[in-house]
Structure 1
Amino acid sequence: MVLTLALCLNLSSVVTAQSTQITFQMLLQGGDIVANQIRDIVAQFEAKNPDIDVDIVFVPGTSGDLHTRLVTQFAARDRTVDVMSIDVIWPPSFARAGWLEPLDSYVDSEDVARYTPGAIDAVTIDGRLYAIPWYYDVGLLYYRTDLLEKYGFEPPTTWDELKAQSAAITRGEGDPVLNGLLFQGARIEALTDTYLEMLWGMGGDVLGENGRVILDDGKGLAALELLLSMVNEGVTPRGIVEQATDTTRLNFQAGRAVFLRNWTYAWALFNGSDSTVRGKVGISTLPSNAGYPTASTLGGWFLAINATSDSKEAAWRFVEFMTDTQAQKLMGARLSYLPSLLSVYGDPEVLDVNPQFQDLLPVVESARARPAVPEYAEISAAMQTALNAALAGQIRAEEAVQRMVQDIRRILGR
């Protein structure tokens, strides 16, 4: 009996030694509904990988809250978190600080080809891959299907078409609270994104291939003049300078606009039981200038491995599972998250729950990453200040562009 007990204890210690504990930390938006679905998907990983136990740490609040937490953990060389979800704009600064594990040795060219080039570009720093796309968020053009159909319009492909359609519909409806276009004009990241989408949609950019600031090449001014023309020509209300992301969503949802530039999260809310526009909303790619391809800002969340993790192999197996087909289908079907794997957009099970994914695939494929430099957050803050001041009529467009160029060059030291 003593021998049997000893053997059992020895076997128990072997099993324990073979079990690896990893910690996964992610931003929680959506409360228990999201948390429970993530727990279920992680449980499926554990069932397939009985030698790995996953402890999930949900961080409530905003992306800024998670960013602050991660920076504190990384700076302290904290080893307790093995895998974390990170915003698409964080990898440049995190990677160059040495906080993220390079993932090149875990993937090959076929693996990378399953994702959009824009997503891979966003997390490739100095030629090395530091994160894997988990789920996307992209800038979209929402439109009132009932109003466009009533006036015989197709979704606009150029900004001039959008202006003309807005004028015709608002004039025809005669509703004083109905606006043509809403976008995020408050001093937030989405204002930078809206400007970038107009800039990219006419062939411009903030930085050239050599990293030189090229916002003063004429297209930077043209993009801002296009943005301002929406207000000056009555397409967009002047109060847009104070409207943030969810304010514009609520106004569109209340039936106060024909078009809206916003993110993918709004779709489910527009089709909720309390929505005025339920069943009357369509999705399209953002317009561009004639002769140029459309461009949408790439947003979303990626999975990365802590460079100081003691369980990198187990951490990678978890990342691989969460970004592979099974988990992607579950997140798409259950949470309406935009899959990072392009193949999932045509999956019948996912489309049965989210038929809009078929319309969103072209938007995802054309999405572009914001400048992949460690100083991006500071650059965007400077751009937001100048853009918002121009929208408010406090400075002229030329001065706003000049300020942005000077600030970006100062920030980059170029």
Structure 2
Amino acid sequence: MTIRLLPAAAALSLLLASAACGDSSGGPSSPAGNDGRGPVTVATGKDLTQTVQRLVAAWNDGHPKERVRLVELPEDGDQARQQLVQNMQIKSDAYDVVRLDAVWTAEFAARRWILPLPDGLVDASSFVPAALETGKYRGRLYAAPWLTGTGVLYYREDLLAKAGVKSPPKTWAELRDACAKVRRTADGEGVDCYAGQYGKYEGLTVNYSEAVQSAGGEVFDSSGRPRVNTPQAKAGLRFLVDAFENGTIPQKAITFKEEEGRRAFQEGHLVFHRNWAYAYALAAEKDGSKVAGKFGVAPIPGEGGPGSGTLGGNNLAVSAFSKHQATARDFIAHIVGPAVQHEYGRAQSFPLSLAALYGDPEMIKRYPYLPVLRQGMDKARPRPVVVRYNEVSAAVQEHVTAALTGRKPVDRAAEDLQKALAALAD
């Protein structure tokens, strides 16, 4: 469900070339006899807001012979990917439409697990350009962009005001200074400063990569070479390590994923919290949040100014093993189309892929963070388009965790990670 969405640079072309397969047009054709119509199953994330259920119910009312059934994958992104991979490896037709983290497109397309979408199925010009690119592999659109966005900084407006802090921090130093001032107030006593996602899973890769980028570094350069042992990249890792050591980030956050951090912020235990836009609507609920009406949203801070986030997103693709691919394609076109995206956008705060929503006055009134989010998306970087991305992410998690828990100094962790990533790029 959530968008979990490692930034970095360009594709590791050698890896892509070695894993790519398909017809001369760059992708597999629909398996014979599978381009039919009928009921379809959509494998998606957890629908916390129940909005997708309502959208599916509306489709089913109009398509009684082509009904859609939702199957929710595990909330943990790594577990969700593993379940999809296992399904594809046995060529199961259990899923017709699969919801993919934007970074999985290359792997699933190269392994012929999903099919390229026909030209004209969706209006490519209607999407946020960066979101559209995450659905492409070798120049063809394999997955229609549905959700997009980047990490943003949630902050307690009320606590900052009482501490005399007039605006949210643009730098890490300003963030630490603001927390110190808040903690000197009666209302800020005992409130932790900052947290993101630091459990040993994909979210750690994202948060590490954002720290590297926000210090002026990059995880991979434009040629696909790892660059994690540069002074800038090590400064990003050092910010995270120092933050755990000096209490800017509480020790308990070493296990945080999106939901643990969201709940901590929502319950009033954090001054600042890095998360995706989905958390906005939940934190704003008057009946379920202690910070409703008391928080704002800003771009994530960086070393010398506003930081650079990771471009996240979830896209929809047609399984190559579906027996009802015509219906699957039609449902994807329906769900990412303007009418349904507007309806979905009004009901929840997931950032959607339709560009027009970010300038829609009604949407901005409902979700004031949208201009901030679009600003952050303009500075965000995509994760690397690599077939072996899961191994890249696992290497990042291993060595960054070692640094955060004090098992390795920053320089050693950066050197070891550089070697691990270089081996994957060979």
Same fold (TM over 0.5): yes
Q: Is the 8 A contact 1:21 1:55 kept in 2?
A: no
Q: Is the 8 A contact 1:158 1:287 kept in 2?
A: yes
Give the Cα separation in 2 of the matches to 1:201 and 1:31: 31
The secondary structure found in structure 2 opposite 1:58 is: strand
- 1:29 is aligned to 2:62: no
The secondary structure found in structure 2 opposite 1:210 is: coil
Partner of 2:55: 38
Partner of 1:112: 124
Counterpart pick for 1:131 among 130, 143, 146: 143
Give the Cα separation in 2 of the matches to 1:348 and 1:340: 17
1:176 deviation in Å?
4.5
Partner of 1:334: 347
Counterpart pick for 2:169 among 149, 156, 163: 156
TM-score by length of 2: 0.82
The secondary structure found in structure 1 opposite 2:386 is: coil
Partner of 1:279: 293
Amino acid at match of 2:293: G
Give the Cα separation in 2 of the matches to 1:378 and 1:337: 28
Partner of 2:8: none
Q: Is the 8 A contact 1:22 1:81 kept in 2?
A: no
Give the Cα separation in 2 of the matches to 1:32 and 1:200: 32
Amino acid at match of 2:126: R
Q: Structure 1 residues 194, 174: CA separation in 2 closer, same or farther (over 3 Å shift)?
A: same
- 1:179 is aligned to 2:179: no
Partner of 2:236: 223
Q: Structure 1 residues 60, 85: CA separation in 2 closer, same or farther (over 3 Å shift)?
A: closer
TM-score by length of 1: 0.84
Counterpart pick for 2:155 among 143, 150, 167: 143
Q: Is the 8 A contact 2:159 2:187 kept in 1?
A: no
The secondary structure found in structure 2 opposite 1:169 is: helix
Report how many residues are paired.
Answer: 389
Q: Is the 8 A contact 1:121 1:369 kept in 2?
A: no
Q: Structure 1 residues 113, 205: CA separation in 2 closer, same or farther (over 3 Å shift)?
A: farther
Amino acid at match of 1:68: Q
Give the Cα separation in 2 of the matches to 1:392 and 1:161: 25
Q: Structure 1 residues 203, 313: CA separation in 2 closer, same or farther (over 3 Å shift)?
A: farther
**Which fold has the larger relative contact order, with Cα–Cα distance below 8 Å and residues 6 or more apart in sequence?**
2
Partner of 1:290: 304
The secondary structure found in structure 2 opposite 1:212 is: coil
The secondary structure found in structure 2 opposite 1:53 is: coil
Moved more, 122-131 or 54-63: 54-63
Q: Is the 8 A contact 2:40 2:327 kept in 1?
A: no
Q: Is the 8 A contact 1:206 1:371 kept in 2?
A: no
Amino acid at match of 1:132: A
Amino acid at match of 1:382: A
1:401 deviation in Å?
0.7
Give the Cα separation in 2 of the matches to 1:93 and 1:81: 17
Q: Is the 8 A contact 2:113 2:319 kept in 1?
A: yes
Give the Cα separation in 2 of the matches to 1:196 and 1:314: 38
Moved more, 304-313 or 252-261: 304-313
Give the Cα separation in 1 of the matches to 2:381 and 2:69: 31
* 1:250-329 pair list within 5 angstroms: 250-272=263-285, 273-290=287-304, 294-309=307-322, 312-329=325-342
Q: Structure 1 residues 117, 289: CA separation in 2 closer, same or farther (over 3 Å shift)?
A: farther
1:328 deviation in Å?
0.3
Q: Is the 8 A contact 2:220 2:226 kept in 1?
A: yes
- 1:198 is aligned to 2:211: yes
Please identify which structure carries the higher helix content: 1
Partner of 1:397: 410
Q: Structure 1 residues 275, 318: CA separation in 2 closer, same or farther (over 3 Å shift)?
A: closer
1:332 deviation in Å?
1.0
Counterpart pick for 2:358 among 345, 355, 369: 345
Q: Structure 1 residues 160, 142: CA separation in 2 closer, same or farther (over 3 Å shift)?
A: same
Q: Is the 8 A contact 1:22 1:82 kept in 2?
A: no
Q: Is the 8 A contact 2:211 2:240 kept in 1?
A: yes
Q: Structure 1 residues 173, 384: CA separation in 2 closer, same or farther (over 3 Å shift)?
A: farther
Give the Cα separation in 2 of the matches to 1:31 and 1:152: 34
Partner of 2:247: 234
The secondary structure found in structure 2 opposite 1:194 is: helix
Amino acid at match of 1:84: V
1:383 deviation in Å?
1.3
Q: Structure 1 residues 132, 167: CA separation in 2 closer, same or farther (over 3 Å shift)?
A: same
Which sections of structure 2, spanning at least 5 residues, go unmatched? 1-35
Counterpart pick for 1:93 among 107, 110, 114: 107
Give the Cα separation in 1 of the matches to 2:141 and 2:281: 33
1:348 deviation in Å?
4.2
Which sections of structure 1, spanning at least 5 residues, go unmatched? 1-18
1:353 deviation in Å?
4.1
Give the Cα separation in 1 of the matches to 2:421 and 2:47: 35
Q: Is the 8 A contact 1:85 1:302 kept in 2?
A: yes
Whichever of the two has the greater Rg, that structure is 1
Amino acid at match of 2:55: I
1:318 deviation in Å?
2.5
Amino acid at match of 1:325: P
Amino acid at match of 1:21: G
1:40 deviation in Å?
3.1
Give the Cα separation in 2 of the matches to 1:318 and 1:77: 21
The secondary structure found in structure 1 opposite 2:217 is: coil
Give the Cα separation in 2 of the matches to 1:212 and 1:411: 10
